[in-house]
Chains A and B, each alone.
Chain A
Amino acid sequence: MKEENQSELAESSEEDESVIDGEVLTEEHGNAEVADRSESDRPLLPASKTPKDGNQRNWLLYILLPFIFLTVALLGGLRIAAETGEFIFSRPALICLVFATILVVLFFRTGLISIGGWFSESLSTLKNASNAAVMVAIFAGSVQVFNSLIPEQGLAFWVVSFCFLWTLGVSYFSVADASRLVRSTVALFVAAFLTKYFLLANLTSTSSGNWLQRLWDDPTREALTYLLDLPRYASATGYVQFFAVALFLLGLFLIPRSTQE
């Protein structure tokens, strides 16, 4: 194989010098795979070059990333009651934990996060512990982002949960690189957000008073709210959740593949 390559090099050198340069570069590395490295193998966050860069990387990894994901965990279950304006902290359904687990497994599988780059015997105990804390924060944020996007109850809960399960299942078997996973996750979350906070929120009756008065004011919405078992939340909930989902996606873009220099 090498001999063939060399003969090809020799032939092409007679035709075009610029082509030779390119081929020689490949030969220097001695491994054709280097040139064919997929996008997923490239860390999303470039390695630090100076000590100052290293510090910035540490700040990002150990302060900013957990802060982002824990803020998502804080806001993901927050709803605001329509009539009283009170906070309602909605605890995640079991299915959210399942989805978050699949999502984190997908992060590893596609190479968005390299296990060896985050946990290793060659790393100090402190670094392994810090990385574990960041990973727990990522998992908590993932659980709560699903809690934010999946309707709380009724038919809508089952339909959206099934769609999530289907999409995550398909991603598990078909998505092989990190950038595609990130793009597909963004699309999935945007679609789910639009479904819950635009479509379903617009089907929910917002009129106040007793049920007869509400039925009289807006019969269609009242009937749909009853049939689909939609909870009545203030519109501020949508704004809070938009922020939470946006923060989660920002966090996804900031996750480095490896924490090793």
Chain B
Amino acid sequence: MKGKHIQIFGLAVTVLYGLFVAWIYWAAPKNVGEVSTKARETIEQATNEAKAATGTYQVDSAKFQQGLNAFRAENFVLARDQFEQADPKGIDPATQYYIAYSFYRQGWGRFTNDDVLFEKGLEQVDKVIALDREYKADDPNLNLKYPVELKQELEEGLRITADDFNPLRLTRERQ
């Protein structure tokens, strides 16, 4: 091997090994077995970042459909998991809107709402608004078509007012 070839090889190996060391400290695996798991996660993340940067990012339609089925079957925990897998970058407004809506539907109660889920829903709907302020859901099962409507509903659910003690409220329906 010529000196020049050794230098090129050495430079490449040094850069790769250096990146590996930096990555290890960034990922901080807890044991040797976790190294491969973290590596896979990093590769997936990098791939999604690259796809988003090049405009070729697409939501996993199969996972999205599974999430939608779970959402319609009122299995909101599973639905959120499937939606998150369908849109790992969290940049698709439709998928993110379903996640926000799942927090609303799971947290809604005839007598009282689950504040924790509503707060999470509020955070999520803010994310949707940041992604696409003009977004409109085309699903006929969703009564609240716009993120601002969902936001209003969630904020209303979190607020305690005299109106909350109105017995007629028991007749209201989930959106």
Contacts and interface: CB of A to CB of B under 8 A. Distances in A.
Contacts of B18: 66, 70, 73, 133, 136-137, 140
A55 interface: yes
B28 interface: yes
Contact of B21 (A61, A70, A134): A70
Interface stretch (B7-15, B63-71, B102-110): B7-15
Given A89-B28, A126-B4, A63 B21 contact: no
Interface string A68-99: 00100110010000001111110100000000
Contacts of A63: 6, 9-10, 13
A89 B29 CA distance: 8
B141 interface: no
Interface in A34-91: 54-55, 58-59, 61-63, 66-67, 70, 73-74, 77, 84-89, 91
Contact of B3 (A58, A67, A91): A58
Contact of B31 (A77, A86, A140): A86
B14 to A, nearest CB: 4
Contact of A137 (B7, B14, B24): B14
B17 A62 contact: no
B24 A89 contact: yes
A7 to B, nearest CB: 50
Interface in B4-57: 4, 6-11, 13-15, 17-18, 20-21, 24-25, 28-31
Nearest to A261: B3
A126 B29 contact: no
B21 A74 contact: yes
Contact of A130 (B10, B17, B24, B31): B10
Interface in A106-156: 126-127, 129-130, 133-134, 136-137, 140
Given A66-B14, A134-B14, A136-B18, A74 B6 contact: no
B1 interface: yes
A62 B9 contact: yes
Contacts of B8: 126, 130
Contacts of A127: 7
Q: How large is the interface on A (under 10, 10 to 19, 20 to 34, 35 or more residues)?
A: 20 to 34
A133 B13 CA distance: 10
Given A55-B1, A137-B18, A140-B18, A66 B25 contact: no
A91 B25 contact: yes
Given A77-B25, A86-B30, A140-B21, A55 B14 contact: no
Contacts of A59: 6
A89 B25 contact: yes
Contacts of B7: 58, 62, 126-127, 130
Given A87-B28, A87-B29, A130-B11, A66 B17 contact: yes
A129 B4 CA distance: 12
A64 to B, nearest CB: 9
B24 A133 contact: no
A77 B25 CA distance: 8
14 contacts: A58-B7, A62-B11, A62-B14, A63-B10, A70-B18, A77-B25, A91-B25, A130-B7, A133-B10, A133-B11, A133-B15, A133-B18, A136-B18, A140-B21
Q: Which 4 A-B pairs have the closest CB atoms?
A: A62-B10, A66-B14, A58-B6, A86-B30
Given A67-B13, A87-B29, A133-B10, 16 more contacts: A55-B3, A61-B10, A62-B10, A63-B6, A66-B10, A70-B14, A73-B18, A77-B25, A86-B30, A87-B30, A87-B31, A88-B28, A126-B11, A127-B7, A133-B15, A134-B14
